[in-house]
Structure 1
């Protein structure tokens, strides 16, 4: 999601998408594409190019097994690269 400081003109190259509704567990077993400019290791700098990766969506009950000690909430969508 991006918060814009002004309205965006939609064109053939720029469009809006509808956000998914329903329970995050409905997506379990599907593959999703994630993107971002986050760090890829604890000591790495931030990348200059947008990174992308295909990941598998897990049920939140499975996610809690991988991420013990973290607060996995009902609204979270959990992903795992197996």
Structure 2
């Protein structure tokens, strides 16, 4: 299991990333050019077993680019606003 070492020296387990379907597909689909389609990436996310972990990671780390947990940056921003 891989770990990410954060700035405060703590470690976060990233084993879920090894099970992510996006790791087995073209990464460019998950980081489309501005105005590009997100359909292909979101379709992959729909059947991914670690979708929830991925979204939680993106929200917790303020990921600003790409499709994470089946949501675009704009969709994640809206989700965070509703949660506040």
TM range, normalised to the smaller chain? under 0.3
Q: Taking structure 2 as the reference length, what is the TM-score of the superposition?
A: 0.22
Larger Rg: 1
Question: Which structure has the higher relative contact order (CA within 8 Å, separation 6+)?
Answer: 1
Task: Write 1 or 2 for the structure with the bigger share of helix.
Answer: 2
TM-score, normalised to structure 1, is: 0.23
